[in-house]
Amino acid sequence: MEKSATAEPQVGPPDTRLATDIATPGSAWTVLLVALVAQIGVSVSEMGLPLLTGFIQRELGLGAATAGFAVSAFFFGKFLGSYAAGLGADAIGEAYILGLGGLMTGLLLVAAMLTPYPAIVAVLLVAGVASAGTTPAGGRMVRHAFAPERHGLALGIRQTGIPVGGLIAAAALPWIARAHGWRWSMTAAAMTTAGAAIPLLVLRKRFTPERFAPSSRLRAPINRNVKLLTVWACLVVSGQFAVLIYLPLEVHQNTSLSLAASTSLVAVAQLAGIAGRVFWGALSDYGLRRGRRRSLSAVGLWSLLATTALLLMPGSVPLVAWVAVTAWAGFALIGYQGLWITMVTDAADATAIGASTGFAVMFTIASIAIGPPILGVAVDVTGTYRAVWFLLLIAFAVSWLPASKLRLAERARSAS
């Protein structure tokens, strides 16, 4: 995308570092493609590991909790590494964090294939740390390659890499595990991750890092708006996993569908989420003159309505009704992330975009770890999956409070 030569008012904090060579026609889209492929590669591993829990348990003779602990080590490592990866992206450049992180993740997953339990837990923990840079570094790279009036669309497209990776993992990894064992399935995920990192090494000279003072390299300013957006995401992120985990179980319980057939609704939710990530981001670009917060409010309203529909859904409705409400829910509850990442990067201080994104992602990962078990306890106590949607309604209602406190300095920006 070509930048205009005329001066333009800034949206949010002004950039002090821009990607070089972005005036080359199509170069910004090349950066986006590379960042998207990197995200898909890591997401195949990240989203595929939970699918392999049963295979790991059976082949290693582990208990369910022990096998689950091995898989959760990867996500705990990602939690530990997110903020540090963001700092690294700000200090040494996005391409290095993305490329080296992807390569290290792939190599460590290959090592996990050869490692006996319990050492596999430590290997997967370090692999999670290595994978943590995809969102803070990838988001920062894409943001600097595009003009502000295209941030929502570009980052929305980049964020589709997560559900796309999940769909690929669901289609391929269990099949490989059934045919050849979970270790070979891990190898396939590792090859995807490493392959996604290779093109990034070509871009390493296109971006120059921010120049931090030595005393600031281990910390970065996280401003009020970023903290509010983080609180908002922590409240709504459980909705994404509620749709993926509990909605198929409710459909199985209330209809004649088998569990395997009910689980196919996950693909419907993911596809709707992919469309939502692009739509909500593009919508925020279209309404940029009035601020992206209006789009965030629209996502919140859509989420409330979709969750209300799930709460009131009769159990005897035909399958097509479940498909429709699943798509409706996935469009917002999974689709919000592109808009959210855009708002975090726009709200961040110019020298701390990566660190701010890593900070926000770190806390949302913690919410992902805490939220679904709490919802599961509610189901056990009440005996119905409707408790999930009731609690989510409360969470979405509360999320309006941090959203209303946002004070974003967004102003009109002329088109490039």
- Write the secondary structure of 48-91 as one string of H (helix), E (strand) and C (coil): HHHHHHHHHHHHHCCCHHHHHHHHHHHHHHHHHHHHHHHHHHHH
- Of 29-33, 155-159, 262-266, least confident by mean pLDDT is 262-266
DSSP conformation letters of 160-208: THHHHHHHHHHHHHHHHHHHH-HHHHHHHHHHHHHHHHHHHHHTTTT--
Look at the block and give the residue holding tokens 């190898």. 187
What length does the chain have?
416
How much of the chain exceeds pLDDT 90, in percent? 28
Amino acid 401 reads L
Q: How far apart are alpha carbons 109 and 173 in whole angstroms?
A: 14
Token duo for residue 225: 């708006």
Cβ atoms of 273 and 335 within 8 Å: the answer is yes
Look at the block and give the residue holding tokens 């971006």. 207
Q: How far apart are alpha carbons 32 and 161 in whole angstroms?
A: 11
What is the tens place of the pLDDT at every residue in 124-181? 999 999 999 888 988 888 888 898 889 999 999 999 999 998 889 888 888 888 888 8
Q: Which of 345, 306, 360, 359 is nearest to 329 (CA)?
A: 306
Token duo for residue 359: 């900070």
Maximum Cα interatomic distance, the chain, rounded to a whole number of Å:
66
Cα 77 → chain centroid: 15
Query: CATH assignment of 219-405?
Result: 1.20.1250.20
Residue 314 pLDDT greater than 50, yes or no: yes
Residue 20 pLDDT greater than 50, yes or no: no
Domain 19-209 in CATH: superfamily? MFS general substrate transporter like domains (1.20.1250.20)
pLDDT band at 209 (very low <50, low <70, confident <90, very high): low
Supply the Cα-derived Rg of the chain in whole angstroms: 21
Residue 13 pLDDT greater than 70, yes or no: no
Amino acid 279 reads F
State residue 250's pLDDT score. 84
State residue 373's pLDDT score. 83
Mean pLDDT over residues 35-51, rounded? Answer: 87
- Helix, strand and coil percent figures for the chain, each rounded to 5: 80, 0, 20
Phi, psi (deg, nearest 5) at residue 314:
-65, 145
Q: How far apart are alpha carbons 212 and 351 in whole angstroms?
A: 8
Cβ atoms of 15 and 413 within 8 Å: the answer is no
Token duo for residue 14: 């002004």
Q: Which of 156, 197, 69 is nearest to 345 (CA)?
A: 156
Cβ atoms of 298 and 286 within 8 Å: the answer is no
Kindly state the helix (H) or strand (E) to which residue 397 belongs, with its residue range: helix 386-404
3-state secondary structure of 102: helix
Q: How far apart are alpha carbons 408 and 291 in whole angstroms?
A: 8
Every domain of the chain with CATH number 1.20.1250.20 lies at 19-209, 219-405
Look at the block and give the residue holding tokens 């195949």. 44
- Of 76-90, 211-225, 268-282, 345-359, least confident by mean pLDDT is 211-225
Residue 277 pLDDT greater than 60, yes or no: yes
Residue 328 pLDDT greater than 80, yes or no: yes
Neighbours of 68 (CB within 10 A): 15
Cβ atoms of 187 and 113 within 8 Å: the answer is yes
Q: How far apart are alpha carbons 160 and 175 in whole angstroms?
A: 23
Neighbours of 402 (CB within 10 A): 18
Query: Residue 117 class from Cβ within 10 Å (0-12 exposed, 13-18 middle, 19+ buried)?
Result: middle
pTM comes to: 0.82
